[in-house]
Structure 1
């Protein structure tokens, strides 16, 4: 049996099969290491921080609030667009109410979402489009719908996604993130959910890559040993 011949042939064909994917692994890995993860996350697009509460402001206490909005399980006092509000949670649902009157504010209308987006956006571009989303696009994954999508007319095609119940920023998306997501899909070879790093296709490709490396190492060792014997 001519072992070197078959190892060379196997190495060649394995290289043809796995070579393109190996190149994709390297290119996607280069992109992921070249660009800061903070940039990918879009931290520069929108800054979200809780505004300080007014110490002397009039607001409902918990007992008064429970009379107006009975049945809530937890609450949080915060500011939304300069107004003190209570964020109430009950039965898996979250809503905002006016901290002074208990009036229900959720779901938040388009105008307040636009004001919220302008308040936290860090760029200079104008808003290009505001969309009510009932089916989550790929780039926001499994985040709960419905939601508001606010798109800005900047070079990065920046989009901020907001909860209509609380006004919270759910996601920041821009072109660098979208490229990262695409390359991540190629890197882990999950072409559906883009999140499963233990999928069968990746395992097979990784195993084939190991065989390619081992056969190449064996050929190098064989070549040097043959020269030494000559």
Structure 2
């Protein structure tokens, strides 16, 4: 019992800060609404009119080799829509042939080029459901940590709203791939503290997390043993 008590005390001294951070970060992440963290409330829906298609996949593939792979995608329509809660998108055929990507309008069959900044700004404004205005717009070849799991290049569109919102937009489709706000950044910071991955913020198997979790388990076991010793029923003497 003396060893248990000493181990419990030393483990408590080592763990009390991290255990507090685990409880605090878990509380904050549970308190923040996940839709607001993801920024879903800042995006309008995008609808693609595939029922208006006039060009078939075979019409497109006849201009490519037999090894070409076709998939369906879309591109944000640059024409303003009457309904502010929805945004039209042009149906698009995406073809990969000999490791080269091609995009064709499924309405006309014409080849589509990468969207320019003016079209990106219009697509961003059309998908934005907030109250701010568009600020700086940049084409990124190196992505920041908050979208490190995506592939460059991406357009970063900043809005001057209360949440410092950012849209990360695909330059080929005009679609918003990620929304980042101060709410997301707070959640991400708490997530970093919770899993103890201070670099990529995505690794559950860090040595720090394993070591502290194991120590916290030992801290719990020693505490249970001490409680049992303290409150164990005593045998009555005759």
TM-score range, shorter chain: 0.7 to 0.9
- The residue that corresponds to 2:139 in the other structure is 132
- 2:64 is aligned to 70
Residues 95/19 of structure 1: CA separation in 2 closer, same or farther (3 Å cut): farther
Please tell me whether the aligned partners of residues 28 and 187 of structure 1 are also in contact (alpha carbons under 8 angstroms): yes
Aligned length, in residue pairs: 224
Give distance in 2, aligned partners of 1:115 and 1:102. Answer: 23
SS across alignment from 1:179: helix
Give, in angstroms, the shift of residue 93 of structure 1. Answer: 5.5
Over the residues paired in the alignment, what is the CA RMSD in angstroms?
A: 2.5
Query: What is the alpha-carbon distance in structure 1 between the residues aligned to residue 133 and residue 232 of structure 2?
Result: 68
8 A contact 2:8–2:219 mirrored in 1: yes
Deviations 1:10-55 (A, max 9, x none): 2121111111110110011001111221221111011332243564
Check the 8 A contact 1:95/1:165 in 2, yes or no: no
Find out whether 1:86 has 2:89 as its counterpart: no
How do 1:84-163 residues align onto structure 2 when only pairs under 5 Å count?
Answer: 84-91=90-97, 94-163=101-170
How far has the Cα of 1:101 moved from its partner?
A: 4.5
Distance 1:149 1:79 in 2: 17
Q: Secondary structure at the match of 2:29?
A: helix
Q: Is the 8 A contact 1:133 1:146 kept in 2?
A: yes
TM-score, structure 1 as length reference? 0.86
The residue aligned with 2:17 is 20
1:203 corresponds to 2:200: no
Q: Please point out which of 24, 27, 30 is paired with 1:30.
A: 27
- Segments of structure 2 that go 5 or more residues without pairing to the other structure are 78-87
